[in-house]
Amino acid sequence: MRLIKVAAAILNTTPLAWKANQSAIVQAIHAARQQHVSILCLPELCITGYGCEDAFLSSGTQAMAQKLLLELVPETTGMAVSFGLPLLHRGALFNTAALAVDGKLKGLVAKQHLAGEGIHYEPRWFKRWPNNAREQIEIDGQPLPFGDLLFEVGDVRLGFEICEDAWVANRPGAELAERGVDIILNPSASHFAFAKHAVRQRFVLEGSRAFSVGYIYSNLVGNESGRAIYDGGALISQAGRLLATGPRFSYADAVVTTATLDIDEIRMGRARTGSFRPLAGDPNDNAVRCSFRFPTTQYVVDKPNPEKWEQSPDLKEEEFVRAVSLGLFDYLRKSRSRGFVVSISGGADSAAVSLLCSMLVSFGVGEIGREAFLAKLSYLPDLAHAPTNRELVRQLLTCVYQSTSNSSQTTLDAARSVAEGIGADFHVFDVDGLVHDYIDMVAKALGRELSWDQDDLALQNIQARVRSPGVWMLANTRQALLLATSNRSEAAVGYATMDGDTSGGLSPVTGIDKNFLRHWLRWMESTGPAGDRTHPELALVNVQSPTAELRPSTSHQTDEADLMPYDVLDAIERSSIRDKRTPLESLWHLRESFPQYELPQLAFWVRRFFTLWCRNQWKRERFAPSFHLDDENLDPKTWCRFPILSGGYERELDELDAWVHEEMSHG
């Protein structure tokens, strides 16, 4: 039995935040040393931050990254530690993992497969490193091996799969196993998406089983650069068994997860595998030899210890509240905003945004404690005088209900109930006079009175837009972050007023559909996240039908009457935008899912969706930054690109109409 204590760290990094990133890395190294760890895997590009984007192409970024690497290497005395950073070589930039052993830099491995789909744009900055290619580079006058390397630390062989390397069919781990690697390190920057963590677990477990190795997976955590949220979730596995799991959605700067690997068991497991064929006499071996003595380690039975909420049947609801709350907290502190302001309407979207702001206090204080939580917001010294979590919420969150003559007592009561229930600072602005001032001004310019029959859209939009300046002014006076409240379903069809309800510096729920948002609010009212309370104050929101409340009350306006049922809208969006189906193909799928509706009605809704989708791309281009939550994101800057001007699917919609006509004629 040959035992080695290993660890994976999750880090909360920020692009180009050199001091903060260095501090988090050092914190992780020290925590690992206190737990007698010999091998520590840190996340991908942890020195620079993963989301530097075009700043990767700055020579200053490269120089500073190497400077920090050299400052960090002495911290590794008595350990083997991997660091992530970009490296310029032969006029090309590479995403690398540097290995330091016992205070000395030993070499750098370059990523072989780049993530270039969806939210990722790595090929814009980096080049793939070819398999089996090795060269020599020089850092600070020191010659170092570089490329497709493995390391022999003492008598233990280490290899790397860097994030995307493990997601592809021809992952490097297979060849590393043939070359006798005992442990594979996977430094990753894998963003959060619903149910994605289970996929990571599968490739870690399968990698350790198929390759007969120990496998150490590290990841980033938190809102790193604005849109992507990282969930952490370090994993350590051996021969298909999960030994340890780290926390997800942590509020700490660094968390180290440890396990004990049995090198003898790993090697004998490989020896028992009939299909294993070692590369004896491999001319490409060239392992980097690193003198190192592993300390004696006590035998420990490692058991993965997932958090209670991760076993919940309501996993998507749990992930949503934890991901967005953490995203909001990091956005708040990294932008050095002094709180949040929400224009709360009494409806689902603004209630959800307000509630998510309050949850970051509950989760953050609950995990890292009040002192550490306040230390992360030390630029807000007045928070130290808040005696309770509820008072912390009041100082961080301001909710404003803005009424017009079309507003109802129902929505005012709902808004007040939510704000008071979560402890927010609550205000009511009457903006009806401002609305009528604008109407009178434009009527005078036109030389006629404006009417609902002739000017419906203009009269609706002015109410939403008039609500923007006052709440922006309040946010400015408090140096707070104004949050927009539009959801993804509304973004898909442009059911939002630009410079009205879309106003804000951040749009937290634009990545989630209305149907799920309404379901989640009911869940928060009746069930709530594990370890936290329910929110009965949502009852007055949840009993309502969604409404913009911009027409006179006699019109009985609802969102679904203006558009279509939200479950239908979301189904069309997934079919047409996510799955890239034509209008007719979307109708065929819709017909199977919604047999309760007549074919002409479904066709009408499909036509309406495609028409509104094309017409409103310019709005999606102007939405405030939103969080990425799944592969149904509509954000044109990170996921779903579409031309602002297009033909509007004219011919495809004609084909839809013709097919429906033919179907109906055959009755």
Residue 196's nearest CA partner among 229, 227, 148, 171 is 229
Residue 653's nearest CA partner among 572, 597, 594, 593 is 572
Q: Three-state SS for 569?
A: helix
Amino acid 523 reads W
pLDDT, residue 557, reads: 80
Asked if residue 640 lies in contact with residue 632, where contact means CB atoms within 8 angstroms, the answer is no
Q: Following DSSP, what letter does each residue of 373-398 receive, concatenated? A: HHHHTTT-GGGGG--SHHHHHHHHEE
pLDDT, residue 283, reads: 63
Residue 248's nearest CA partner among 267, 259, 235 is 235
Is 596 buried (19+), middle (13-18) or exposed (0-12) by CB count in 10 A?
A: exposed
pLDDT, residue 667, reads: 66
Phi, psi of 501 (to 5 degrees): -70, -10
Give the containing element (helix H, strand E) for 349. helix 348-368
pLDDT, residue 270, reads: 85
Write out the E strands in 114-208: 134-139, 142-147, 151-153, 156-160, 183-187
User: How many DSSP H helices and E strands does the chain contain?
Assistant: 22, 20
pLDDT, residue 279, reads: 73
Task: Average pLDDT across each block of 10 residues of the chain; the chain has 667 residues. List them in order.
Answer: 95 98 98 97 98 96 97 98 97 97 98 92 96 94 96 96 95 93 98 96 96 97 96 96 96 97 92 74 77 88 84 96 98 98 96 98 97 97 94 98 93 97 98 96 96 92 94 97 96 93 95 96 97 96 82 78 92 95 96 95 97 96 95 90 95 96 86
Cα distances (angstroms) measured from residue 294 to each of 27, 37, 160, 270, 513 = 22, 10, 20, 22, 52
Q: Three-state SS for 242?
A: strand
- For 499-514, what is each residue's pLDDT tens digit? 998 999 999 999 999 9
pLDDT, residue 281, reads: 65
Number of other CB atoms surrounding residue 155 within 10 Å:
12
pLDDT, residue 284, reads: 60
Asked if residue 158 lies in contact with residue 181, where contact means CB atoms within 8 angstroms, the answer is yes
- Topology of the domain comprising 312-554: Rossmann fold (3.40.50)
- Topology of the domain comprising 564-667: Arc Repressor Mutant, subunit A (1.10.10)
pLDDT, residue 336, reads: 97
Rg of the chain taking only CA atoms, in angstroms: 28
Partner residues linked to 258 by β-bridges: 7
pLDDT, residue 274, reads: 66
Domain boundaries, the chain: 3-277, 312-554, 564-667
Superfamily grouping for domain 3-277: Carbon-nitrogen hydrolase (3.60.110.10)
The 10 Å CB-count burial string (b at 16+, else e) for 435-460 is: beebbeeeeeeeeeebeeeebeeebb
